[in-house]
Amino acid sequence: MNRKKIIVNSRDYTKLTGLISIKPGSSDSEYRELSEELKNAVLIEPEKMPPDVITMNSKVRFKDIEESEDYIFSLVYPEDADTSKGKLSILAPIGIALLGYRVGDEVKWKVPAGEKTFLVEEILYQPEANGDYLL
């Protein structure tokens, strides 16, 4: 929906495109949205990833600008998702929206409650910044 160029770890890109290929021709909008976002991706090797970019397995604090409510989630693959434990699936609308954005970016995205704008406030953990290149 936003269709801004996003920055994606090349290894994450490979895993995510593999995830999408499991659902060829799927009518699931989450897979289509993720596929569209990845078409706008600038790929960077994990070792060269800027530390202020949301990558897979990053823990991020972001705010719903309209409601002034803060959220903290780790962006994970679907099999690891558990929102009660702060683990947000990449296939959740907000998960798709956040991938590849940077601290300070405003992200507009359609969620079940309508269009929302989120502000990326802080990355609390990014695997690449910590030398964890193979997560």
40 in a structural domain: yes
Using DSSP's 3-state secondary structure scheme, residue 9 falls into: strand
Sign of CA dihedral 14, 35, 95, 27: negative
Q: Is the pLDDT of residue 124 over 90?
A: yes
Neighbours of 53 (CB within 10 A): 23
Residue indicated by tokens 């995510």:
16
How does pLDDT run across 47-63, given as a tens digit for each residue?
Answer: 999 999 999 999 999 99
Q: Is the pLDDT of residue 113 over 90?
A: no
11 in a structural domain: yes
Q: Degrees (nearest 5) of the Cα angle 125, 67, 57?
A: 20
133 in a structural domain: no
Per-residue pLDDT at 27? 53
Interatomic CA distance for residues 117 and 34, integer angstroms:
18
Exposure b/e, 11-24, CB count within 10 A at least 16 = b: bbbeebeebbeeee
How does pLDDT run across 67-110, given as a tens digit for each residue?
Answer: 888 999 999 999 999 999 999 999 988 899 899 999 999 988 87
**132 or 7, higher pLDDT:** 7
Mean pLDDT, the chain, rounded, equals 88
Domain ranges, residue 49: 6-127
31 in a structural domain: yes
123 in a structural domain: yes
Per-residue pLDDT at 23? 63
Per-residue pLDDT at 28? 77
From the list 34, 54, 36, the residue with the least C-alpha distance to 96 is 34
How many residues in the chain?
Answer: 135
CATH number at 117 reads 3.10.50.30
1 in a structural domain: no
From the list 45, 128, 54, the residue with the least C-alpha distance to 96 is 54
135 in a structural domain: no
Interatomic CA distance for residues 129 and 77, integer angstroms:
19
Band of pLDDT at residue 13, cut at 50, 70 and 90: very high
Across 116-133, average pLDDT: 92
Across 115-119, average pLDDT: 90
117 in a structural domain: yes
Across 10-16, average pLDDT: 94
Domain tally, the chain: 1
